[in-house]
Amino acid sequence: MSNSYQNLKHWITNSGLIISNPDEEHYGGVYSYFDEDKKKYSFLYPEITGYSTSSLSFFYNNSKDDNLLKLAKANSIWIIEIFKKYDCIIQGISNDKKRQKFAYTFDAAICVKGLLDYYKISGSLEILDTAKSILNWIVPAINDDGTILPFKNIELDIFEENNDVWYKKRGNLHIKVSIPFTQMYEITKDESFLNIAKKLCDVYPKFLKKDGSLSMHENSDEINLHTQSYALEGLLFTYGTTNSEKYLECCRNCLDWCSNKIEDDGSINLWSNSKYSSKSIYPVAQVIRLMLLVDSIDKSHQYTQDVKKLIKFMNSLQASSNDSKINGGYYEEFYKSVFGWKKRKKLNSWGSMFAIQALFWYENAEKTVFENSISSLY
Per-residue pLDDT band for 98 (boundaries 50, 70, 90) equals confident
Q: Read off the pLDDT of each residue in 254-263 and give the average, rounded to a whole number.
A: 98
Per the model's pLDDT, the better-predicted residue between 96 and 136 turns out to be 136
Strand partners, 334: 279, 343
Between CA 186 and CA 294 the distance in angstroms is 21
pLDDT at 96: 78
The mean of the pLDDT values for the chain is: 97
Q: Read off the pLDDT of each residue in 145-157 and give the average, rounded to a whole number.
A: 97
Per-residue pLDDT band for 310 (boundaries 50, 70, 90) equals very high
The length of the chain, given as a count of residues: 378
- With 90 as the cut, is the pLDDT of residue 91 above it? yes
Domain locations along the chain? 3-376
- With 90 as the cut, is the pLDDT of residue 89 above it? yes
- With 90 as the cut, is the pLDDT of residue 121 above it? yes
HEC string of 202-255 equals: CCHHHCECCCCCECCCCCCCCEEHHHHHHHHHHHHHHHHHHCCHHHHHHHHHHH
Model pLDDT for residues 31-80, shown as the tens digit of each residue: 999 999 999 999 999 999 999 999 999 999 999 999 999 999 999 999 99
Backbone angles phi, psi at 163, to 5 degrees: -105, 20
- With 90 as the cut, is the pLDDT of residue 338 above it? no
Strand partners, 153: 102, 158
- With 90 as the cut, is the pLDDT of residue 97 above it? no
CATH number of 3-376: 1.50.10.10
CA–CA distance from 139 to each of 62, 114, 144, 190 (Å)? 33, 18, 11, 15
Between CA 296 and CA 367 the distance in angstroms is 9
Per-residue pLDDT band for 95 (boundaries 50, 70, 90) equals confident
pLDDT at 337: 84
Per-residue pLDDT band for 339 (boundaries 50, 70, 90) equals confident
Residue 232: closest CA among 176, 293, 154, 152: 176
